[in-house]
Each structure stands twice: as C-alpha cells, then as structure tokens.
Amino acid sequence: LEVVVKTIRIMAYLHRAEVLGVYDGHRMKTTDGLDMEHFGFADGISNPIFLDKDYDEALDKTTNGEFLPGADPLAELELVLEKDEFGPALAYGSYLVYRRLEENVDLFHEYGRNIQTALQEQGVVVTLDEAESRMVYNQYTGSR
C-alpha cells in the first residue's frame, strides 16, 4: 500500500494535483469468500460487466440462471472509456471518482424490522434477513 500511495503522490505532483488525504480500509468477506459490504450483503454484484467471460461467470452466480428484469449488468465499454481528443488514434482513458459516505447499519436494521412488520400485517411472513434483502434487491449470499 505504501508503494501505491507514494506513486499516487508522485503522479499528483507531476500533474499539479494534490493528495488531500489517505484512508486505509480493509475488505470484508462473506463465508463464501465474496466481497461483503457493511450491511452483510455480497458486494459488487451489481457492477456493470463489459466482457463476455465475466458476464457468463455472473450469470452462473444467479439463483435461477437469469437476471431479474431490468437488472442485466451487461454494459458497453463507452460507459467507462472516453476518447482522448488530443491523443493518438486509439487513445482512451477513464475517470476516477472517490465518494466517501457513512452507512448507518443500525438504522438499516430498524427499517428492515419495520418492513418485516408491515409485510406480516399483510399476511406475508418473512424473516428479518428476507425483509432486508428486499430493501437492497440482493440476498446475503450475493444472488439476486
């Protein structure tokens, strides 16, 4: 990590930019080895997919071998690559935006309990995990 930070600082200096801060983090994993976000759900499963081989792998991870309507993650490379007007003929680049936000896990679970109660009042019996899964269009296992 130190090498990466040092390289970024050098690149920033060369391009007249400034590194304002460095935040260390760690990756959490599910019991199945998938990346996990703070609420306990598998992370990164809704990221766009650009290559056919990655698409096939993602399809294999779905519950029934198909994506939910409107949730097909296949995307064109133009979504992340931008033609460099001043570069050679095949010069492309991309942008990086880092957004830091705070996630309120306790409030998330409170909303989950509220949804669970509302569903049960309508005769739909669900666990808290199932209610929370409905909130984020995802399951803790990473399947959709």
Length of the chain counted residue by residue: 144
Q: Please identify which residue in the block is written with the tokens 């949804």.
A: 115
Closest CA to 25 of 13, 11, 35, 12: 35
- Both tokens of residue 31? 């019991």
Q: Which of 52, 54, 56, 60 is labelled catalytic?
A: 56
Torsion of CA 123, 124, 126, 128, to 10 degrees: -70
- Both tokens of residue 75? 């995307």
Confirm whether 54 is a catalytic residue. no
Question: Three-class SS string for 59-114?
Answer: HHCCCCCCCCCCCCCECCHHHCCEECCCCCCCCEECCCCCCCCCCCHHHHHHHHHH
Active site residues per annotation: 56
